[in-house]
Structure 1
Amino acid sequence: MSSPPPYPGQPGDPQDPRHGYPEQPTQQFGQQDRFGQGQGPYDQQYGSYPGRPSAHDPGGYPGYGAGPSPAPPRNGAGVAALVLGILAVLTGLFLLGGLLGLIAIALGIVGITRASKGIATNRGVAIGGLVLGVIGVLMTVAVVVFAVFSLNLFNDIDQGQFMSCVQDAGSDQTALQQCQRDLEDRLQGELDQLGN
């Protein structure tokens, strides 16, 4: 039994124009040449310089193919800034909120700087922490200013009469209640004057 004739284009086909010529060895993509460099299909056609990586071989260039993996991003400062910024806003009515806000601002700046240098990948988180830290500080400053203003206003209106009345009353509850009523009358009189 004879074997069927080969298909056109296969080795051994009598109609193949290459019939009778020895097969040329072909170099596969990614194989090493005699200089130890990779050869891509375009480099076989046009050639490449000895001692240089192939233009079509990504393994020859840093950052492509095999090589050291990049360091993980350092996102800790940005995340800490956001957490402390949220706490600063929540506690902004107290002095603790201002302190947390200042720390959030500092960490937010560090996180933004790291993101600008490409060390971190969470620039938006760091900006959010910075903004919330600023809001927390501003809330604390507003509370302190309001408290100082109110205390000064109270001292201007009362002129120390309430404190001297309380000291004179001692532990007498009736006298203390009278001191409170006198203070309320003075405050009401001042509000009436401001309204006119």
Structure 2
Amino acid sequence: MLRVVNRVLIGVVGLALVVAGGSVLAVGLGVKPPSWWVHDGRHDVLLSDAQRTRWRGDGWWWPTVLAVLAVLVLLALWWLVAVLRRRRLTEVAVSTGDGEGALLRGRALEGVLATDAGDLEGVAHAHVRLVGTRTAPEARVRLGLEPHVDPGVALDHLTANALAHARDSAGLTTLPTEVWLKAVKHRAERVS
């Protein structure tokens, strides 16, 4: 969701900047703007001296300007942190047994876990995401179950098979996991 909001916001801001910059460039190069446009001609300014100094003497003006700028800076910082923060675990530290270690790609472990979980009887589809740190990963598993499957049995099979296999293969002592179970809805089919 955040990725979609991020892309839409970047697109809107980018489009607004391109349109504003293009209009200023076009008017500066001598293109005659329409009558409703903010610039009248090549030597026009965006804000006249009267417009810039209109509220300068009022007591509310500068606190309002500073508050708006502070809110914009905080929103920009929040956006930057949200973009830079990684949602997925990129690598997992694997114990090799000889005191050394290796790094396993997070997506590879996610793929194996999803394949193992999807191979369980009655599981229509499985999606896995790893979060946490490289030394203490956590799994988020979403299972789409067929209507005839008992959720408790599916959860037991997932724990005993796929999760145990992933934990043992990566040499992890624990692999905390959140599992979301959802029934798969099938479209009605005509039987003849």
Q: Which has the higher strand share?
A: 2
TM-score (normalizing by structure 2): 0.30
TM-score normalized by the length of structure 1: 0.29
Higher helix share: 1
